[in-house]
Amino acid sequence: MYISGVPGTGKTATVHQVISFLRDEYDTGDLPYFKYIEINGMRLTDPHQAYVQILEVTVSLCCYFSCTLEVSFDGLEMAHLTPLTRMLTSSL
């Protein structure tokens, strides 16, 4: 999901509230496990860095070495093709 708008309109607060609600639903067993990934585009110096950040969170691979864009693409593809991770829901 992509959310944009002028500063100060409550985008971040709204998303955090929704995620809090979803986590409560998970805690009660009403939702399956999901992983929330937040990327602030204003903090990226290059749009492709988003893929690196997604891989860091979903696979925890880049914590051990510096990920290039190509490594990130390959890692994300591999992570989403394995049977276990295909069952997990990710919220970006």
Q: Is residue 58 part of a domain?
A: yes
CB-based contacts of 71, cutoff 8 Å, min separation 6? 55, 61, 62
Q: Is residue 81 part of a domain?
A: yes
Q: Is residue 47 part of a domain?
A: yes
Q: Is residue 16 part of a domain?
A: yes
Domains in the chain, number: 1
Q: Is residue 2 part of a domain?
A: no
- Cα–Cα distance list, 69 to 22, 72, 78 (Å): 31, 5, 14
pLDDT higher than threshold 80 for residue 18:
yes
pLDDT higher than threshold 50 for residue 28:
yes
| pTM score | 0.59
Q: Is residue 60 part of a domain?
A: yes
Average pLDDT (40-68) is: 70
Q: Is residue 45 part of a domain?
A: yes
Residue 65 belongs to domain spanning = 11-91
